Each structure stands twice: as structure tokens, then as C-alpha cells.
A and B are shown apart, each in its own frame.
Chain A
Amino acid sequence: MSPEKLGQMANQIATFFESQPGDQARAVADHINANWAPAMRAQFLDGASEQALHPLVKAALPEIRRPA
């Protein structure tokens, strides 16, 4: 899957959680962990450094589970 599209999807998720109370980065990571297939998460994490990511997505990166 294209890293641009995955980055876009992650940014879109962040725009919802940025208005929510609580640990926003955790919420973004939880949403991605619960809904994205492992291959999508791996490709996203691999290509993350080259994408223009929302600050919340950047903060969520360490919490996104990299598949074994």
C-alpha cells in the first residue's frame, strides 16, 4: 500500500482525536492497532519518516504495534 495513503489515513484519524479529552496519542495508536492489518502498520511505520504527519500521529508512532 502506498505510504502516502497510509499517512493520509493516520492524519485523518488524528484530526478526530485532537479534539478529544485524555491521552490523544494513545487513542490514535489504539485506533490504528485495532483496525489496521499488521502489513499496513508495518508499511506505515517503515515509511513514516518520509511522510508529512500530524503531530499527534508522530506522538503515537512509538505506541503503534509493529508486527512480529
Chain B
Amino acid sequence: MKDFIIPIKDKGTPAKSGAPVCLTIDGMSITVPEGTSVMRAAAEAGISVPKLCATDMLEAYGSCRLCMVEIEGMRGTPASCTTPVREGMVVKTQTDQLGRLRRGVMELYISDHPLDCLTCAANGDCELQDMAGAVGLRDVRYAAGENHFETRAAEVENPRYIAKDVSNPYFSYDPAKCIVCMRCVRACEEVQGTFALTVEGRGFDARIATGTNDFLNSDCVSCGACVQACPTATLQEKSVEEIGMPERAVVTTCAYCGVGCNFEAQMRGDQLVRMVPWKEGKANRGHSCVKGRFAWGYANHEDRILNPMIRDAITDPWREVSWDEALEFAAKGIKRAQAKHGKDSVGVITSSRCTNEETFLVQKLARAVMGTNNTDTCARVCHSPTGYGLKQTFGTSAGTQDFDSVEQVDCAVVIGANPTDGHPVFASRLRKRLRQGASLIVIDPRRIDLLETPHMGEGLHLPLRPGTNVAVLTALAHVIVTEELFDEAFIRARCDWDEWSDYAEFAADPAHSPEAVADLTGVPAETLRQAARSYASAPNGAIYYGLGVTEHSQGSTTVIAIANLAMMTGNIGRPGVGVNPLRGQNNVQGSCDMGSFPHELPGYRHVSDDGARAMFETEWNTTLDPEPGLRIPNMLDAAVSGDFKALYVQGEDILQSDPDTRHVAAGLAAMDCVIVHDLFLNETARYAHVFLPGSTFLEKDGTFTNAERRINPVRRVMAPKAGLADWEVTQALANALGADWNYTHPSQVMDEIARTTPSFAGVTYDLIDAQGSIQWPCNAAHPEGSPVMHVDGFVRGKGRFIRTAYIATEERTGPRFPLLLTTGRILSQYNVGAQTRRTENSVWHGEDLLEMHPHDAETRGIVDGNWVRLASRAGETSLRVTLTDRVSPGVVYTTFHHPDTQANVVTTDNSDWATNCPEYKVTAVQVALSNGPSNWQELYEAQSVLTRQIEPAQ
């Protein structure tokens, strides 16, 4: 197997940019940017200065004194990590004096360190061990005395000994091995931004501390930055303790959120030992969160189904069969439906959790083999309004920036997103910028954690009432227009002036002023004006938004309003600005790019576009339907009315994730052949007739495209546990339906994508291997890809302003349902929880809780921890309540990670006007005390067991 890691030397301190400075180190001449440390300059020249407390992920600290050097004209032996280079400097890194001094320092370190190297978990990966070797330590002269590592000395307990903390499920903390280099404390501050760790005491008494009894109960978010930074076995992955040191590493991409972090999958044989964030990864720059770093145990979970299964009726037990029999059964089901009910009675759902290549094949299966455009994807229920809104205004459906852009942001506007939970690695990068002084504006019903960032500059919170996004954003535009804060030069050069004039006239209407809408939105007018001024006057203003924008009846209008704001303030087309949708799942961007939507071929070209269709018709040697197909909610509606009979669902759990569970269940129940292709028997599989076992991201090759349009490599590190990778299963199903597909590797699918999709024309696996990743568009005009879009002009030509009138959702509160429910995500769990619930992450979040303001609770006689009944017009469920003032009175909030909570029994089938994206974020509800799970939940649980039975092997 190809090894994609060229070990990258740690250069000791971070790279700097500045004027060139030339100096001499050990007789070698080297030129580095001003501000660079002597240590890094030496590393650039190929010279390793011994070090313990320095790492290039962190600013220099200068505590270990091992990296001292001699510099001509300077007294003593300065630390090379904290000494910046100067023109003409002459440095010696190795002299007799330095050697003697370093051995003395090492001797002191080792005198307070257990010498159990052979049985230590870090054996072979310990910088203390390496440095003892590097400085030539041969003896420790100090006799045993006071220390931190012996449990007992002379029959007496050692008062300085602190037992190992194993409370965190993924790593241990062993104070006996700590050298107090502070790398963990600094990583927690500088890289992660959580400030969970500190140092207690001074000198010999100094100890690393969490401020509580153990790691699990501290502020620690288990991002792993401290474990990665630790030079010894003090902070160590438990998987390494259990298995041993990995022997090879393959760079791949995380399968969780849309940040798309690159990781080294560190392996021993075909066993995954640990995932370590890759420092060269351009989305994450060497950082990670608890999910990508640690929560990969689901890949080996006993719940995984490894054999294909079929059944005639959903009340029958499952029967394990061969791949051939399962595929034949599935193909027959599809053919039967089409013969009886017409070609459009079948459809497919692609997954944002599968690769671009797999998604491309699934939509190709629908369009070219089944002959229908009935293909949709889970992006329907999250970012479809982004597709519509950004295409209408800018010309293409994608975020405009890369994540590096955040380093140049002066004012960050975060709308309907909770990055510290949903997109943690991006949140850490944003928080770093906020600590440097950038201002923050949060538009969200809930006071999100980002607002609590320590040492942050200005932070404004606009706690709007759920469902009033458009009113708030139009009011921001009103202030920018009427106070003349817009960028006229940009608008004249880049946008259509007539459309701008029309929009300016619309926004200037006093009905859209902050004062006029304050009662409606709940946002104080003065706060809103302040936010508008702050965003418009910042040199670089950037908008980051999430599903709190899109999952509304006016989702598309809100995206348009965001684009309008960016255009009118000239915040488009350079680093530090832009419109940045934070995608929920790892490949939402990719699944949309790949033509998963029923009205769009790959590359966002409408099916009625004759030229685009002709290109695919030639490539696929078939004719394509020029009419749009059905979207997921339409498929379910059609199923209920008897017109839609067979469905192939890849890697998606519509029964749990889609709104109005009863309606989804009715739709699925009305179908004759439901084919579920997944890792686990998910909720949707309760209504399935064919189950095709899926493969994890570790078991296949391919690419994921993250929120910054970055096409990242996914590399196979182990064989598919069920025998076939997902793309091979789709190919086999297509061939069972009469196609003649002969792909032998996903790179051939990418070549086909490049041949047919102009924005991917230059993409090849070779280029991805060479560059690490590629941001589309990548073609003749942008041969290496495009970090920032719309640089010289919008994709559509002139940027287009569109009026954004506020229209209240039909979901209204009233006497029966007086509260508004909104939903979201928590750090440790992911989406429907299919993966994270099958890992130790459940220690942090064992059940979904309803967040409620104490005032609303008191009037209902509810106290913290009570079981409550949550009812809406669509249905009711029960869960436990937690009281918090993060939500305003009148608003309640919950997550949807656990199937037994059934939060989507409560959500309604209201949807976005343009795309039918469901309105998850606004449901009128009532909350009352209850005794426990509702009847529906109990019935559901009972039925769940019944429909998941597998016939014992004969």
C-alpha cells in the first residue's frame, strides 16, 4: 500500500512572514523572514537544535533551556526558540560548552522521571528519550531524593505522587511522567482556545491541572491537541497503550463534519491505532476535534452488518444472502415497479457521507440506468437553500473562501451556526482570530459558546426570535443603505447597478428599519444598528452561516439576504471576507456538486440545458430526461398517494433525519422495494426489503469536498469488511439492472467527472496526491484550483441584488402551542448519531435534552431534570429538561442525535418556498410535565425490535 507520509520535521517555532534576514548558523548561510526564531532558522538550514518545550504548532515559550546556542556578540547562551534572527548574526549550535550545559539540563530532567522506557506507552515516540540520546546523556549523578514519580519511598507514601487519570475515555494523563514543558497548556490555549489546562504551583511544585478533579469533569473538550503536543507519555492515547506504536501512516480525510480535516491514519497492519491531525492539512492545519481524532470506534462496532440481507415483507425477519442474490432481488424490485407504475415510480437518495465518486455513480444510476431524474440527497434537508440563493446572486452554489481566510477577518458575522459544537476545528481557528482582536456578531436565538470565548474583543449577540432571519438581515441592509455605509465603488464595478438601486430603494423603506421590526424580531434596534455599522465599516467582514439560516420556510430568501449584505459592503473576492456556508456533513458540498439534485446535472447545470445533457448523453451513450425529477419530500408524498414504489438509499437515514417522522414512515411503508445501503441497520432499514452493507471511509478510496470547495483525498487503509466498497456495490446494482459499468478504481470515476464537468476539468488523483487537495474550480483558468472565488468578477458576470421581503412562517405560536422549538447539534455527537452513539462519545451526551428558560419552566411547574412531554401540531415525544438562560423565554431547544427521542415526530412538514428544505428550526410547541416516554416512543421501540430480527443461519 502506498505510503503518503513524508515525515515532516518539527521546526520548533511557527513560520513567520517578513523581510528577508540573512545569518550564519554553524558556518552555513541561511535567509529567513524577519521574526523567525534562531531555532527555526537552524531547522530551515537542516540543523536540529535539541529542544523539549518547543514545537512549531505553538509560539516559543523558552522554559526547557535545552535549545541554548552561542551567538557572536551576545553574552551567555540564549535560548534559540525565543531569540529572533538578526541580519549578519553568527550562531553556533554545537560547542563543548553547549554540550556540557545541555547534558546538565537533561540530567536534571531525568533525575525526576521514571526510567521505565521499555514498558512505557511512548517507547519509540518520546522526545525526552530522543533528546537524552541527542545530547549524549550517559549518566545521572543525582541520588534518589524528592521526586514526582515514585509511589512510595522508604516505606512512606510519596506525597508528591499523583495517580494516573484515566477518566477520559480516549487518553490518559500520567503526572508521574510530566516534565512541565507547558506544551499541553499552550496547545489548549493557542490551538484549541478552550483554556481548560493550567499550571498549579511554581518551580519543583509546578503541576499541570484541569481546575477540577479529573479530565472528564473539566472544561476539556477532548480535541486531542494536548495529547499531540505532549513530548512524553504523560498524555497518551489509550489506543496506543493497548495496541502499541503504529508502523505506517496514510493521509486521509475525516468522515464527520464539513470542515474536512486531514488526518494521518496511523496503522499497525490493517488495524487503526490512532488518527492524528495532519499538519499539512489545509483545512485544519494540524488541529482536530473529539470526533475526528477519537470517535472512529464505530468502524469496528459489533452492530455493523457485514452480509447482504433481503426479505419479502418488512414484518418478516431478515435473511442473510449472497451479494449476487441480494442485488438480483433489488434489481427485480426496481424493474417490477417501473414495469407496473412507469419509469418515474423509482428513485435514489445519495449521501453526504459518501465520496464524490460514489455520489456521482448513484445519480448516474438514476439518470442513465433507471432513466429518471428522481435523485436527491440529504443536502435537501440542510443546504439546498444555499444552492438556490448563491446561484441566483453570485452564479454558483459554494462558499467563497478557504478556511485560511479567517486569519484575515476583522469582523466575523456568525448566523444560525454553532461552530464550537458543529464545526469545532473551524471554531478554534475563528477563536484564535477573535483573541487577536477581530470583532464578532452572533445572530442566533441561543447564546452560543463562541460568545464566551476568553480574551475576545467586541462580541455582539442579536438574539432573534426563531423564524425572523429575513427581517433581521433586511434591517441590517436598511441601516447600511440609509446610513450610506455601502461600498459604491465595488457595487458599480462588480454588480448590476439597476438591481442595486431597486434593492436599495426596497431596503430603505422605513418598514424595514431596526426600530420597526424590533417587536417582531426581539432584537433591540440599537444593537442591530451597531452590528450593521460594525460589519460595514470593518476592513474585512466575513459571514459564516449554518442551518439556522437554511432550515426555514424563508431559507433561500435568507441566503439571498446574506449575499446582498456581502455585495453591498464589498466583502467579496479577497482573503478575509466572503459568504461561508458551514456544511453539516463532510461531503454536503460534494454531493451537491455531483448532480445529486433532481433538477441539476453535475456542476449545477439544469437538466433542461441541452448542451450539458448532450455532454452526458455522449459520455453515457443514452438519452436523458430534460424534466426535473422528484425531491425527497415529493418522493414521500408520491409514495403515500401510490405513485412511487421503489427507492435506493445510500448512507442516509431519512426516517430519523427528515421532518415529520410519521409522514416519512407512511411514505416508506407504501413502497414495494426499499433498498438501504448503510453500515448499520438504521431507522430507515425498518421499512427496507433489501439491506446492502456499506463500507466506512477507512475501507475505500475516493474524495470528499469540504465547505471550502476543497477536494480532499479519502484513502483506503483496510479492506472493506463486507467485501465491497460502496462504489462497487452501486456498480453491481447498476449492472444487475442491465448497465455495463466497468470501473476498477474510483480515480476512473473522477476522470469521468472531469471530462463532463467544467469546474472539475483539471481535477485528477495525481494532482490531488501532488498538492494534498484541490479547491474547485480547477480548470485551464485555475490549474491549481481556487482558494477564493469571484476575485475579478462573479461567476454569473454581474452580482445580482434580489429583494428580500419578510414573510412570516405559517408555523405560528398560539394558546395551544405557545413556545418555539429550535434544534441543533452538540460537540460530541454527530447528526443522527449512527456513528458517534457507537463510540465512547456517549459519555458526554447520553440522551437528548430539552433546553428551557427557567421562567418558562416555573410557570409550568417544571424543575431541572424532569421528564416532559413536547407536543406540536405534528406529534409529541418525551424527553428530559435542562434549565438554562442560554435560550430566551418563549424558546426551547433540543438536539436530535438519539432515535428514541424522536425529535422529528414533533417537527412539521413546512418547508422552504424555493427548495422544500424542511423548516426544522421553527416549530410551535407546548411543554408539560410527563411520567416518561410517550406511547409513540414505546410503540416505536417495540416495533423497532420486531423489524430488526435476523433469521438465524441454517
Contacts and interface: CB of A to CB of B under 8 A. Distances in A.
A12 B637 CA distance: 18
Interface string A6-17: 000100110110
A2 B640 CA distance: 9
A16 B914 contact: yes
A12 B627 contact: no
A41 B363 CA distance: 23
A37 B913 contact: no
Nearest to A37: B630
B382 to A, nearest CB: 18
Contact of B628 (A16, A20, A21, A36): A36
B599 A19 contact: no
Interface residues of B, number: 29
B803 A15 contact: no
Interface residues of A, number: 21
B421 interface: no
Given A9-B916, A13-B914, A31-B914, A2 B637 contact: yes
B599 A1 contact: no
B641 A1 contact: yes
| B contact face: mostly helix, strand, loop, or mixed | loop
Interface string B784-807: 000000000000000000110101
A19 B913 contact: no
B598 A37 contact: yes
A34 B599 contact: yes
A12 B807 CA distance: 9
Contacts of A16: 556-557, 805, 807, 913-914
B553 interface: yes
B627 A37 contact: yes
Given A21-B803, A37-B344, A40-B634, A15 B913 contact: yes
Interface in A23-53: 31, 34-40
Contacts, number: 59
Nearest to A14: B913
Most chain B C-beta atoms within 10 Å of own C-beta, residue among A9, A19, A35 = A35
B777 interface: no
Contacts of A34: 599, 606, 608, 628
B564 interface: no
Contacts of B150: none
Contacts of B628: 34-37
A5 to B, nearest CB: 6
Contact of B803 (A1, A9, A19, A36): A19
Given A37-B344, A37-B629, A20 B803 contact: yes
Contact of A1 (B344, B373, B506, B638): B638
Interface in B467-518: 502, 506
B634 A1 contact: yes
A12 B344 contact: no
B643 interface: yes
B374 interface: yes
B641 A12 contact: no
Nearest to B625: A38
A27 to B, nearest CB: 11
A45 B545 CA distance: 37
Interface of B: 344, 373-374, 502, 506, 553, 556-557, 598-599, 606, 608, 627-630, 634, 637-638, 641, 643, 802-803, 805, 807, 913-916
Given A1-B641, A5-B637, A21-B502, 7 more contacts: A16-B556, A19-B805, A20-B802, A34-B628, A35-B914, A37-B598, A37-B630
8 contacts: A1-B638, A2-B637, A13-B913, A16-B807, A35-B914, A37-B344, A38-B627, A39-B344
> What are the nearest 6 A-B pairs in CB distance?
A19-B805, A12-B913, A1-B637, A38-B627, A37-B630, A15-B807
